[in-house]
């Protein structure tokens, strides 16, 4: 924690520094270990903000990204956590999450079980007696017993998931009973979770994290999935969706204060292989030019692509531009946009047809060097939960028997 008594030496009161490092950070100091040194952690000539977000709540958020990068640079970050996995093998426990929050970090929701909360395109025609749905990605088959809605916008039915698989025709979700009606894939058919599951994923996650003594106001959608119904519901539970760019025209956007339409925000992934140093610099320059908000995202567990030195590089590049590195909650408050405007989602079949066409021509996402699915969060990705957002079978596996062993297999026991 911050040492008391340093305030007088740098013109900051002890009371400001008493609670956490965050008081020092907001006063323009850099924290190195437990010692405060004079520095420039907050913007001098701009109101522009940049927010660093990290998904899935792995222990590396604390051991690597926080301790070896953010703490050394004296700036906060945000950890988005699936509430059901707190304290599991390889994930942060409640004590670590509270410590991060005490140190100025924001803890965000990442749903309960890391379900994909987006619309997923049905890729082949459906007959009434079919017990399989061929889909762009079979994430919704992860949890047998889940109910999904199949719809083309004019007709719909609800079916119960039995499992998932893949064959020469593509990925599929198996069902406990026949679909019961026909659908033509060319009509832009999608399947999504029922409202009950969507509301549970959004609301229960927030409640469970808050029961741990945390403050939770914002969310990161698993896999980047952000379907039309999810867009309509998210604002009932959260101030902002940090990776909700699909609702506002694309990812990797920079937000001008006058143009923010909560809860939908956009972010850019900054790991190696996704964003070059030049790309990162250009993104940060856009934030400065807009005098607005930029959000960066990453995954601490993917150390090959996002090691502490890359995080520190990004933070230093932000500092070089006098960008204020803050949490998302602080950024929205500082920019004066919290609760001021709400996005009304317009649903059209044209949008779904466009999505369908895009998905037919988009290849499958590759994998990272450690076997995790590579993250495809870019402005050009098709708007479904299958856009290469971290697939993380390891997180889904944690919800069932053998979860710890599955996690160790995915992570290579490192």
Give the model's pLDDT for residue 385: 38
In a shared domain, residues 332 and 292? yes
Query: Which of 13, 53, 30 is closest to 295 using CA atoms?
Result: 53
Higher-confidence residue of 131 and 376: namely 131
Would you say residue 266 lies in a domain? yes
In a shared domain, residues 71 and 29? no
310-319 pLDDT per residue, tens: 999 999 999 9
In a shared domain, residues 34 and 77? no
**CATH (domain of 241):** 3.20.20.370
In a shared domain, residues 214 and 248? yes
SS3 content of the chain, % helix, strand, coil (to 5): 35, 20, 45
**CA dist 368 to 22, 199, 256, 301, Å?**
34, 32, 33, 11
* Angle between the N-to-C axes of helices 308-320 and 277-290, in degrees from 0 to 180, rounded to the nearest 10: 40
Give the model's pLDDT for residue 407: 38
Confidence class of residue 259 from pLDDT cuts 50, 70 and 90? confident
Confidence class of residue 192 from pLDDT cuts 50, 70 and 90? very high
Please report, to the nearest 10 degrees, the dihedral formed by the alpha carbons of residues 271, 272, 274, 275 taken in order. 90
Would you say residue 147 lies in a domain? no
In a shared domain, residues 204 and 306? yes
Give the model's pLDDT for residue 45: 61
Query: Mapping DSSP to helix (H, G, I), strand (E, B) and coil, where does residue 132 land?
Result: strand
Determine the average pLDDT of the residues in 370-391: 36
In a shared domain, residues 30 and 52? no
Q: Is 382 left (phi over 0), alpha (psi -120 to 50) or beta?
A: beta
The distance in angstroms from the start CA to the end CA of the chain is: 29
280-294, 296-310, 313-327, 389-403, range with the lowest pLDDT? 389-403
Higher-confidence residue of 80 and 391: namely 80
Determine the average pLDDT of the residues in 170-178: 98
Higher-confidence residue of 335 and 380: namely 335
Would you say residue 131 lies in a domain? no
In a shared domain, residues 50 and 34? no
Would you say residue 158 lies in a domain? no
Confidence class of residue 36 from pLDDT cuts 50, 70 and 90? very low
Would you say residue 353 lies in a domain? yes
52-66, 196-210, 394-408, range with the lowest pLDDT? 394-408
In a shared domain, residues 4 and 109? no
**CA dist 260 to 52, 67, 242, Å?**
18, 32, 12
Q: Please tell me the total count of domains within the chain.
A: 2
Would you say residue 146 lies in a domain? no
Would you say residue 3 lies in a domain? yes
- Exposure string of 219-238, with b = 16+ CB inside 10 Å and e = fewer, is bbbbbbbbbbbbbbbbbebb
27-31, 291-295, 399-403, range with the lowest pLDDT? 399-403
Confidence class of residue 386 from pLDDT cuts 50, 70 and 90? very low
In a shared domain, residues 297 and 336? yes
Confidence class of residue 342 from pLDDT cuts 50, 70 and 90? very low
Higher-confidence residue of 36 and 117: namely 117
Give the model's pLDDT for residue 278: 97
In a shared domain, residues 275 and 381? yes
In a shared domain, residues 212 and 304? yes
Rg (CA), the chain: 21
Q: Is the pLDDT of residue 10 over 80?
A: no
Q: Is the pLDDT of residue 241 over 80?
A: yes
Measured CA to CA, the distance from residue 344 to residue 320 in angstroms comes to: 37
Would you say residue 257 lies in a domain? yes
CA 232 to chain centre: 18
In a shared domain, residues 347 and 406? yes
> 28 is in which domain, residue-wise?
1-39
Tokens coding 328 = 């998302």
């Amino acid at each position: 924690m911050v040492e008391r008594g340093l305030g007088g030496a740098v013109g900051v009161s002890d009371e400001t520094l008493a609670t956490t490092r965050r008081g020092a950070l907001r006063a323009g100091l850099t924290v190195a270990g437990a010692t405060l040194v004079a520095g420039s952690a907050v913007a001098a000539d701009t109101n522009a903000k940049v927010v660093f977000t990290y998904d899935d709540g792995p222990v590396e958020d604390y051991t690597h990204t926080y301790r070896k990068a953010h703490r050394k640079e004296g700036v906060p970050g945000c950890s988005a956590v699936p509430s059901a996995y707190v304290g599991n093998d390889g994930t942060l426990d409640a004590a670590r999450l509270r410590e991060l929050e005490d140190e100025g970090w924001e803890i965000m929701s990442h749903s309960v079980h890391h379900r994909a909360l987006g619309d997923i395109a049905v890729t082949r025609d459906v007959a009434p007696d079919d017990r399989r749905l061929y889909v762009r990605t079979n994430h919704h088959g992860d949890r047998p017993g889940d109910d999904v809605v199949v719809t083309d916008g004019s007709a719909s039915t609800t079916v119960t998931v039995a499992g998932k698989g893949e064959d020469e025709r593509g990925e599929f979700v198996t069902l406990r009973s026949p679909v019961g009606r026909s659908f033509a894939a060319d009509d832009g058919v999608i399947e999504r979770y029922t409202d009950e599951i969507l509301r549970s994923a959004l609301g229960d996650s927030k409640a469970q994290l808050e029961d741990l003594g945390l403050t939770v106001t914002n969310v990161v959608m698993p896999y980047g999935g952000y379907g039309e119904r999810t867009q309509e519901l998210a604002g009932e539970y959260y101030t902002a969706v940090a990776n909700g760019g699909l609702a506002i025209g694309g990812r990797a956007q920079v937000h001008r204060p006058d143009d923010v339409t909560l809860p939908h925000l956009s972010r850019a992934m900054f790991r190696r292989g996704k964003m070059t140093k030049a790309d990162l610099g250009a993104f940060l320059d856009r934030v400065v030019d807009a005098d607005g908000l930029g959000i960066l995202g990453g995954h601490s567990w993917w150390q090959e692509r996002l090691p502490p030195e890359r995080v520190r590089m990004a933070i230093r590049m932000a500092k070089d531009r006098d960008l204020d590195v803050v949490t998302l909650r602080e950024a929205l408050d500082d920019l004066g946009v919290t609760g001021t405007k709400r996005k009304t989602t317009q649903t059209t079949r044209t949008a779904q047809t466009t999505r369908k066409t895009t998905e037919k021509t988009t290849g499958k996402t590759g994998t990272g060097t450690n076997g995790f699915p590579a993250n495809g969060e870019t402005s050009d990705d098709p708007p479904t939960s299958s856009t290469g957002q971290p697939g993380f079978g390891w997180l889904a596996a944690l919800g069932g028997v053998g979860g710890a062993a599955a996690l160790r297999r995915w992570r290579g026991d490192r």
